[in-house]
Amino acid sequence: MAPTLLHHLLDGAGADDCPAIVEEAERLTYGGFRARVAALARRLRDLGLAPGDRVAILLPKSVRECVAIFAVSAAGGVFVPIHPSLRPRQVHHIVADSGARVLLTDAAHAAGLEGALDDCPGLRVLAEEVGPPEETGEDAAALPPGEPAPDGLAAILYTSGSTGLPKGVMLSHANLIAGTRIVRTYLGIGPGDRILSVLPFSFDYGLNQLLTSVEQGARIVLLTPRLGDDVVRALEAHRITVLAGVPTLWTLLTRAAPHLAKADLSALRTITNSGGSLALPTIERLRARLPHTAIVLMYGLTEAFRSTYLPPHEIDRRPDSIGRAIPETDIFALTPEGRRARPGEPGILHHRGPTVSMGYWKRPEDTARVLVPDPFPPPGTEPGFVCRSGDLVMEDADGFFRFIGREDTMIKTQGFRVSPTEVEAALMETGAFRAAAVIGLPDPSLGQRIHAVTVPAEGAPGTADVLQRLRTALAPHLVPRTIEAVAALPTTPNGKVDYKRLTAERAAAEI
């Protein structure tokens, strides 16, 4: 029977003695994985977790984190993965906004929170590890069935929206299983694959790697790299076959990994990029270093998971393309008047398919902007919703799309989507500025880099002091790379900050 709930993926996965997860010296088999998931799921139920309750997960990339994701699903809960480098303020926002009943974390992260969650009533913080069940009988791994509906909520992933603090994107079990099936199909993932996981599980595509690996009974190797050579050595030592990354990772590999030229990476058959476009020189360097490895470029938004992919044999012909629709999915561009854009005409990308999310947690107005009624429902089906991406794209005569830009001011850096509003709020809180506008400028390593244009306040502290304070308040990827001082910010006729002009002037000056 095809799996309908996330944790079902584990039921049909590899044999008990087959390796599932590798984390440094630790190796967990599928049998051990199932047992640990069952133990933690039981613990969660003992804590009184009710169906649909949220469980936040704040853990470094680890076996424990993988177990937590599946255990929350098996206990009938909704998992909310939190990026482990977020600062207490952002963690608090996610825990409070999601109304989490339980936080699964470790001692180091619990200590780092320093009471930041004290005002979350009824939150249970579980910082110790839940061991495998004692051998009490044959039902050690059996769980009472607490089956939610397949279209019920499975996870909430927090991602920056254009209005400040991160918003939770709601994913159903059916969404996650469809994403697993679709990516596994077009990448051809099978039981023999060894997948290197460097992307966080709080990022939809990082999570997808874990799910495709489990679905196929393949092996996933977990790594938090510090240097490009960490990645190269892991690729070589584990004979990795598939590696997924964001632009930053490819910069590390092509600019800062001397071992790449010497390593035997003959097992590596596919690398995939998502979370921002890859600069042409980086693609060329990757192809020179990895002549036998296929490069698959992808495009997507958390609100609809992935939308398009570029098959590797097309990369020479259309290196700046984001590709065409993923399986089971229709992608089309709409003009401002709501008609289908013709080839060569810009339009907003729309997505119809099984990975279209359930919208934003507790934000119906925001949801209504991104999930819109299907303008052309396929005949014979009940009209549903499509995802309006907010990205301007252009289709070519062969049905391949090219990304033109964001409709709004969102910045994509290091694979993260960053809302200028959130960074601006932190800048203003320092008291050092009378006004601040945050923009993204093209950057070959980061995709875009965060640049702040500011009007300094009288007697304001220096830039170094301000950056120091921002680093306390913000996660590293949110801290501006550069702060510029101007006398006044340009405005539009409506009195709003003219972001387009700010960005265009600075981007032009750099070329």
Partner 1 sequence: MADVREAIFAFIAARNPGLPSGAVTGDTSLVTSDALDSIGILDLMMHLGDRFGVEIDEDSFDLANFASVDTLAHFIDDRRSDV
Buried b (16+ CB within 10 A) or exposed e, 78-98: bbbbbbbebbbebbbbbbebb
Residue 119: exposed, middle, or buried by beta-carbon count in 10 A (0-12, 13-18, 19+)?
exposed
Can residue 471 be called a binding residue for partner 1 (CB under 8 A)?
A: yes
Q: Which is nearer to partner 1, 285 or 506 (CB)?
A: 285
Closest approach, Cβ 252 to partner 1, in A, equals: 6
Q: Which part of the chain contacts partner 1 (CB under 8 A), choosing from 95-103, 220-228, 311-319, 451-459?
A: 220-228
Can residue 444 be called a binding residue for partner 1 (CB under 8 A)?
A: no
Closest approach, Cβ 471 to partner 1, in A, equals: 5
Can residue 421 be called a binding residue for partner 1 (CB under 8 A)?
A: no
d(CA 449, CA 470): 16
118 three-class SS: coil
Q: Are 71 and 37 in contact (CB under 8 A)?
A: yes
Residues 247-276 that bind partner 1 (CB under 8 A): 248, 251-252, 255-259
Closest approach, Cβ 311 to partner 1, in A, equals: 29
Can residue 463 be called a binding residue for partner 1 (CB under 8 A)?
A: no
Can residue 230 be called a binding residue for partner 1 (CB under 8 A)?
A: yes
Closest approach, Cβ 482 to partner 1, in A, equals: 12
Q: Which is nearer to partner 1, 38 or 249 (CB)?
A: 249
Q: Which is nearer to partner 1, 200 or 217 (CB)?
A: 200
Can residue 467 be called a binding residue for partner 1 (CB under 8 A)?
A: yes
Question: 96: Cβ–Cβ under 8 A, 6 or more apart, which residues?
Answer: 119, 120
d(CA 296, CA 299): 10
Out of 226, 262, 292, 313, name the contact with partner 1 by CB under 8 A.
226
- Please report, to the nearest 10 degrees, the dihedral formed by the alpha carbons of residues 147, 149, 151, 152 taken in order: -70
Q: Nearest-CA neighbor of 456 among 472, 428, 480, 432?
A: 432
Out of 163, 185, 335, 472, name the contact with partner 1 by CB under 8 A.
472
Q: Are 191 and 217 in contact (CB under 8 A)?
A: yes
Can residue 414 be called a binding residue for partner 1 (CB under 8 A)?
A: yes
Instruction: Give the CA angle between residues 190, 192, 198 to the nearest 5°.
Output: 85
Out of 445, 460, 461, 484, name the contact with partner 1 by CB under 8 A.
445
Residues lying near partner 1 in the complex (CB under 8 A) are found at: 85, 225-230, 233, 248, 251-252, 255-259, 414, 445-446, 464, 467-469, 471-472, 476-477
